[in-house]
Structure 1
Amino acid sequence: MGESILLVNLVIALLAGLVGAIIAVRLGQSIILGFIVAGIFIGPFTPGIKGDLAIVEALAEIGIILLLFAIGVQFSLSDLLRAGRVAVLGSTTQVLLTLGLGYGIGILLGWGSLEALFFGAVLSNSSSTVLSKVLGERGEMDSPHGKLALAWSTVQDLGTIILIVVLSALATESDTLLLDLAIEVGLAGLFLLLLVPIGLKLLPWLFERVEGLRNREVFVLMVAVVALGLAYSASFFGLSLALGAFVVGVVVSESDLSHQILADVLPLRDIFAGLFFVSVGMLVVPMFVLRNWPLLLLAIVLMMLVKGSISALIAWLLGTPTRTAVLTGVIIAQCAEFSFLLAQVGSDLGVVSPSVFSLMLGASAASIVLLPALYQGALPVAGFFHARRPAFAHDAADPDPVDDSALLRNHAVVCGYGRVGAVIGTVLRHRFAFLVIEEDVRVVTQLREQDIPVIRGSAAIPAVLERAHLDRARVLVVALPDPVVTRQVVDGARRMNPRLRIIVRTHSETERQWLLRRGVDTVVLGEWELALEMGLHALRGFGVSALEAETIVQRLRGKPDLESIGDSMTMTARSVRTSPTAETSAAQKLEDKSASAADDELVTRRLHNGVRLVRTPRSANDRRDHPGPDQPGGAAGTGA
C-alpha cells in the first residue's frame, strides 16, 4: 500500500507540474513559475486534490541534489576570473547590501533575526535562468549588459552556496557559534580535499571505461550514482546534501567528459527539479499572501526596484557605461531558483515561518512575471542617461587627442572593437586609414599599444561621433551587439553626413528592415550569412560546382525572410545551366583543367585570405552614388 501512495503522489505532482509548465510556456513565462503555481493548487492550503507534502518533499530532495550537481558541473573558475572586477566586486557588494537591507526591514517588521537574515538572503539572489530567457528572446545575450549580468549572476550563485553554509550554522543557535562555523568550514575543506583526488584520478578513469562500453544507459546510470552517492557521502562530514552535490559537480567539471556528463544528467535534473519547485509551491499559504498584499508589494519593491537600483549604481561606480549599468541592474532585479532553495532551507530549519515563506515565494514569483515589462520600460530610461547625460557617464569621450593628420580625410570609422570589429580592423589596417570608437578601457589600451587611433567613449553620444570627423569620413562600420545603441549611432551619423556609407551588423530581420529604412547602405544579418555559407558547403558536398553553388547563395542573400527560396533555387539552377554569364565563360576557359581544379580556383578567388565581404543592398530605386570627399557634391566615398 505504501508503494501505491508513493506512486499516487508522484503522479499528482508530475501531472500538476506538467499542466502548470504548459500554461506558463503558452503565456511566455518561466517554467519555474508554472511549477510553483501547480504546487499551490495541490498544496494543503488550497481546496481540491491534495498531494502528500512529506512524500513530494522526499522526492524533491533528489531534485535539489541534481540541480546543485548540474550547477557545479557548469561552474568554471576560469569563467569566474574572466567575469572581471566589475562582476566580482559588484555582485559581492550588491549581495552584502541587499542582505543587510532585507535584514533591517525584517527586524522592523518584528521578525526574528534569523528569519530576517533569510529574507535578506532571498532578496540578494538573482536567477541566471530568468535573465537568460528575457535577454535571449531579445537577442541581447551577447550585449555588454547581457554578458555582465550573466557574470554577475554566476558570482551570486557561488555566494548563495556560502550563505547556505553560514545560515545553516547560525540556525543551530549554539553558544559556540564561531567554533561550529569553523568546524563546518573545516569539514567542507576536508571533504573537498578527499574528493579532489577521486575527482581528478578515479572518476575520469571510471567514466572513460564506462563510456568505452558505448552504452548510453550504463553511462547515465553511472552519472546518477556518482551525483547521488557522493552527495550523500557529504552528510558523513556534517554537510548538507545540496552543498555536497555542488562540490561534487565542481570536481567532476574538471573531467574531459564533463559536457557529456552534464548532457546526461539534465533530463533527470529537469524532472526532479520540477518536483522540487512543485513542493515549494505546496508550502505557500495563498490566503496569507492575499490578506497581506501591502507586505507583498513591499517585498516586490525591495526585490526589483531597490535591488535593481543598488546594482546599477554599483556597476556605474565601478566604471561601467551608464546604459550598460542601468540595464544590468534591471535584468538582475528578480529572484528564482536559488531564492526558492534558500527559502526552503530556512523553512526546513524551522527559522522561517509559513507566512514569511509565502511572502518570499509570492514576491519571487511576481518578479519573474514583471521582469519583461520592467526591462522594456527601462530601455528609454537607460537611453536617456546614456545619450543625454554624458557629463554623469563614464562613456563620455576621453580627452586624449587623436592623430588627425593620419585619419581625418577619407578614413573609416569602426564603432566597437570586439570579435567582429577586430576582424574588420584587420581587413582595413594594411591598406586604409581607420579610427576606432570603443568603450572598454582595456581594449582602448591595447589599441593604443598597437598604434591604432582610438577614441574612448560611446558612439551613441554625438560629441564622440563628432570627434571622429564623420563629415570627412568615407565609411562607418557599426560592429556593436546592442541594437538600441546601434540605432542611436546610425541616426547620429546620418545627421552628420547624409552621404556617408554605413555598414551595420544585426541579428534580427526586423532590425535589418528598420536599418534599411533609415538609410543604412549595408546590413549584415549574422545568422543568415552563416547559414548561407554552410548551405554553400552542403551543396559542394553533393558535387554542385562552385559556380552554381555561389550563384544560388547570391540569389538567396537578399531573402533572409525565407520566402520563395525554393523558386529562387530552381530559377538559379536553370539560369546557371543555360545562361552564358561572364563567370561561366571564365569557367569554360578552364576546360583544360579538371572540373575540380576550376571549382577550387573560383572558391579561392571568393575566399582569398579567409575574408569575404557581403552586403544586403537597398532596392535599386533607393541606391545612390557616394562620391568621395574630394569630388564635387560629396563628403563620403563608396568604400573599399
Structure 2
Amino acid sequence: MHHATPLINTIVGGLVLAFLLGILANRFRISPLVGYLVAGVLVGPHTPGFVADTSLAPELAELGVILLMFGVGLHFSLKDLMAVKSIAIPGAIAQIAVATLLGITFSTVMHWTLVNGLVFGLCLSTASTVVLLRALEERQLIDSRRGQIAIGWLIVEDLVMVLTLVLLPAYGKLLGGESETMRQVWLDLALTLGKVAAFITLMIVVGRRVVPWVLAKSASTGSRELFTLSVLAMALGIAFGAVELFGVSFALGAFFAGVVLNESELSHRAAHDTLPLRDAFAVLFFVSVGMLFDPLIVIHEPLAVLATLAIILVGKSAAAFALVKLFGHSRRTALTISVSLAQIGEFAFILAGLGISLGMLSPQGQNLVLAGAILSIMVNPLMFALLERYLARHDPGDEETTDRQPGEETQLPLEVCHHALLVGYGRVGSLIGARLAEAGMPMVVIENTRARVDMLRNQGINVVLGNAAKPEILSLARLDCARWLLLTIPNGFEAGEIVALAREKRPDLSIIVRAHYDDEVAYITERGATQVVMGEREIATSMIALLQLDAAKLPY
C-alpha cells in the first residue's frame, strides 16, 4: 500500500476492519458498534500492526456527526423541540451538575486539584450524539415522545458544552494570574450566548426561507447528483459557518440546518439521499474513538476505570431517571432517557484535549475519560437490550398513553372501515391521496412529520401521527378493517418490516408497496406484499405503451 495516501489508508483500513468485526459481533448477537470500536483499537497506535492516521480519523468522524445531526433535524420540528423544553432544559443542566459533582468527588479521592476534578466531571457529563441517535434509530424511537425528550436533552447538553469550551480558557487565565477578571469572564459568557441566539434567530428567520428555496431550485434541475450535492453543501456549509462565525458546534449547526428544511416537501428526499453517507461516516466515528483507547489502562488502573465507569453508567443514569420522574413522566420514559445518556462521547474528547492544553486536566484524567467513553459505548447497547427485556416483562404499556402530558393531543382509533390505509404523504403519497379523494374512497394516512399531519387535518383528512412500524399506530389507523394498505415511503427495507407486521395481523389484506431496487422488490415480496411497484419499471412500461407498438407490423 505504499502508493496510498494516509487518508486512503485510514478510510480503507478502518472501514474494512469495522465491517469484518461488525459482522462478527452481529453473528454473536452483539451490537455492531462494539465491532467498530474494537476495529479502532486494532488500527490505533496502542496495538501492533497497521496504524491508521490518528489526526485524520476524528475529522472524518466529525463529518458523520454533522450528517447525522442534519438527518435528525429533518425529522425534528421546532414545535417538537419546544414541546420538550420544560424537561430537556432543566433536566440536562441538573444532570450535568450532578455528573460534575461526582467527578469532583472522585478527584478528591485521587488527590487531584479541584480544577482537574471540575474538568474531569464535565467530560463525564455529556452523552455522545452518535451513540444516542444510533440507539434511537435502531429502535425506531426518533419520532416517539421518549426520543424527542432524549434529543432535546442532548441539544441542551451540546449548548452547555459550547459555553464550557468558550469559558474554560478564560477560567484558566484567571487561575494562572493573567490579566483576566470576572468581568471579562461574564463578558465572554454574554458574547457566547449572544452568538448562539444570533445563529438560531438567523436560521429561523432567514434559513427557513433560503435553504428550502435553494434545494427546490436544485431539485428542479432534474439532476439527482446536483440535488444530493446541494443537500451536502447546505448541511456542511451551515455547520462550518456556525463554528466559524458564531462559535457554535458542528453538530448544533447541522441540526438547525435540518430543522429549517423540515417543513419542505423535499425533506424526505434529502434524508434518503444522505443516508448512506451518514452511515459510513458514523462508522468512522466509532473507529476513531477506538483508536484513542489504550487498553493497558484497564490493567494498570482497574479501580479508577471502574469508578469512572460507575459515574457514567450509574451516577448519570440515576440522576436522569430521578429528574425525569420528578417532572411527572412515566417510568418507561425515565428508564429510556437514563439508559440513552449512560455513555459519553465526542464532547468529552474535545473537552479533555482542551483541558490538557490548558494544564487543567492531567494525562491520567484524560486516559480515564477515554477509557470511560470506550467502555460505556460498548456497554450501552447491552443496557438497551436489558431495558427492552425489562419493559416487555414489567411495563408493556402503550407509549402513546404512558408518555402523554396534560394538554397533549390524544390519538384515538378512527371511526372508519373499508378504507385505504396510506403510509406516507410525500410526492407519491399525495398523488395517490388526491386520486382516492376524487374517487370518494375513505382514506386514513399514517405520517410521522408533524407539519404534514397538521396540513392534512386542516384539509379534513383522517390522519394518524406516528411510525407505521409500531403495532399501536396501525391499530389507531384501523388496520383491522382496512381494504388496502398502500406503502409509499422511500425506504424499502422499513416498508418490508411494516408489511410483515400487517400481514401477521391481516393475512387477507391487499398490500401494495413502492420500491426503488430489485433487491427491495424481492425483500418486500418475501415479507408478504400482494404487489410491489418499482418506479423505474412502471416508467419503462408506460413509455413502451405510449409508442403503441403493433407486433404484427414490426420488421423481422
Q: Which bracket does the TM-score occupy, shorter chain normalised?
A: 0.5 to 0.7
Structure 2 residue 219 is matched with structure 1 residue 211: yes
Structure 2 letter corresponding to 1:40: V
Shift of 1:348: 5.4
Matched ranges for 1:241-320 at <5 A = 242=250, 243-320=252-329
Structure 2 letter corresponding to 1:367: S
Structure 2 Cα separation of the partners of residues 261 and 108 of structure 1: 51
Contact residue 149 and residue 328 of structure 1 kept, 8 A:
yes
TM-score, normalising length from structure 2? 0.62
Structure 1 residues 531, 59: closer, same or farther in 2, change over 3 A? farther
Shift of 1:345: 4.3
Structure 2 letter corresponding to 1:332: S
Corresponding residue of 1:222: 230
Select the residue among 228, 241, 244 that pairs with 1:233. Answer: 241
Corresponding residue of 1:158: 155
Matched ranges for 1:347-426 at <5 A = 347=353, 350=357, 355-371=364-380, 374=383
Shift of 1:328: 4.0
Structure 2 letter corresponding to 1:286: P
Structure 1 residues 125, 118: closer, same or farther in 2, change over 3 A? same
Structure 2 Cα separation of the partners of residues 238 and 215 of structure 1: 33
Structure 1 residues 181, 3: closer, same or farther in 2, change over 3 A? farther
Matched ranges for 1:74-153 at <5 A = 74-83=75-84, 85-86=86-87, 88-111=89-112, 115-126=116-127, 149-153=146-150
What CA deviation, in whole Å up to 9, does each residue of 1:265-301 have, x standing for no partner?
2322222232233222211121123321111211222
Structure 1 letter corresponding to 2:352: G
Structure 2 letter corresponding to 1:292: E
Give the 3-state SS of the residue equivalent to 1:48 in structure 2. Answer: coil
Contact residue 195 and residue 248 of structure 1 kept, 8 A:
yes
Structure 2 residue 406 is matched with structure 1 residue 442: yes
Shift of 1:46: 1.2
Structure 1 letter corresponding to 2:83: R
Structure 2 residue 350 is matched with structure 1 residue 344: yes
Contact residue 334 and residue 364 of structure 1 kept, 8 A:
no
Contact residue 45 and residue 285 of structure 1 kept, 8 A:
yes
Corresponding residue of 2:64: 63
Corresponding residue of 1:42: 43
Give the 3-state SS of the residue equivalent to 1:229 in structure 2. Answer: helix
Contact residue 122 and residue 340 of structure 1 kept, 8 A:
no
Structure 2 residue 187 is matched with structure 1 residue 179: yes
Corresponding residue of 1:597: none
Contact residue 127 and residue 332 of structure 1 kept, 8 A:
no
What CA deviation, in whole Å up to 9, does each residue of 1:59-97 have, x standing for no partner?
334334334433444443211233374555444433332
How many residues of Structure 1 are paired with residues of Structure 2 in the alignment?
425
Structure 1 residues 291, 222: closer, same or farther in 2, change over 3 A? same
What CA deviation, in whole Å up to 9, does each residue of 1:386-429 have, x standing for no partner?
99xxxxxxxxxxxxxxxxxxxxxxxxxxx98987x9xxxxxxxx
Shift of 1:191: 4.1
Structure 1 residues 533, 42: closer, same or farther in 2, change over 3 A? same
Structure 2 Cα separation of the partners of residues 186 and 257 of structure 1: 31
Structure 1 Cα separation of the partners of residues 256 and 317 of structure 2: 30
Structure 1 residues 557, 525: closer, same or farther in 2, change over 3 A? farther
Structure 2 Cα separation of the partners of residues 202 and 288 of structure 1: 50
Give the 3-state SS of the residue equivalent to 2:45 in structure 1. Answer: coil
Structure 2 Cα separation of the partners of residues 238 and 14 of structure 1: 33
Give the 3-state SS of the residue equivalent to 1:171 in structure 2. Answer: helix
Structure 2 Cα separation of the partners of residues 439 and 165 of structure 1: 30
Shift of 1:162: 1.2
Contact residue 95 and residue 125 of structure 1 kept, 8 A:
yes
Matched ranges for 1:391-540 at <5 A = 442=406, 530=479, 533=482
What CA deviation, in whole Å up to 9, does each residue of 1:161-195 have, x standing for no partner?
21231221133234232222322333344444555
Shift of 1:221: 0.9
Shift of 1:132: 7.6
Give the 3-state SS of the residue equivalent to 2:61 in structure 1. Answer: helix
Structure 1 gaps, min length 5:
388-414, 422-437, 448-506, 510-522, 539-551, 559-564, 567-640
* Higher RCO (C-alpha 8 Å, min separation 6): 2
TM-score, normalising length from structure 1? 0.55
Structure 1 residues 188, 368: closer, same or farther in 2, change over 3 A? closer
Shift of 1:218: 1.0
Structure 1 residues 100, 147: closer, same or farther in 2, change over 3 A? farther
Shift of 1:43: 0.9
Give the 3-state SS of the residue equivalent to 2:280 in structure 1. Answer: helix
Structure 2 Cα separation of the partners of residues 34 and 148 of structure 1: 30
Corresponding residue of 1:488: none
Structure 2 Cα separation of the partners of residues 91 and 282 of structure 1: 29
Structure 1 residues 72, 82: closer, same or farther in 2, change over 3 A? same
Corresponding residue of 1:395: none
Shift of 1:203: 2.3
Q: CA RMSD in A?
A: 4.7
Structure 2 Cα separation of the partners of residues 81 and 267 of structure 1: 30
Structure 1 residues 444, 260: closer, same or farther in 2, change over 3 A? closer
Structure 2 letter corresponding to 1:342: A
Structure 2 letter corresponding to 1:124: S
Give the 3-state SS of the residue equivalent to 1:53 in structure 2. Answer: coil
Corresponding residue of 1:21: 22
Structure 1 residues 189, 61: closer, same or farther in 2, change over 3 A? same
Structure 1 residues 150, 234: closer, same or farther in 2, change over 3 A? closer
Structure 1 Cα separation of the partners of residues 166 and 352 of structure 2: 11
Shift of 1:343: 2.1
Structure 1 residues 381, 265: closer, same or farther in 2, change over 3 A? closer
Structure 2 letter corresponding to 1:340: E
What is the aligned-residue identity percentage? 28
Structure 1 residues 28, 132: closer, same or farther in 2, change over 3 A? farther
Structure 2 Cα separation of the partners of residues 281 and 251 of structure 1: 34
Corresponding residue of 1:602: none
**Range that drifts further, 285-294 or 269-278:** 269-278
Contact residue 532 and residue 557 of structure 1 kept, 8 A:
no
Structure 2 letter corresponding to 1:156: W
Larger Rg: 1
Structure 2 Cα separation of the partners of residues 276 and 124 of structure 1: 20
Structure 2 Cα separation of the partners of residues 553 and 250 of structure 1: 36
Structure 2 Cα separation of the partners of residues 182 and 248 of structure 1: 24
Structure 1 Cα separation of the partners of residues 76 and 485 of structure 2: 37
Give the 3-state SS of the residue equivalent to 1:265 in structure 2. Answer: helix
Shift of 1:217: 1.2
Give the 3-state SS of the residue equivalent to 1:35 in structure 2. Answer: helix
Corresponding residue of 1:586: none
Structure 1 Cα separation of the partners of residues 234 and 189 of structure 2: 28
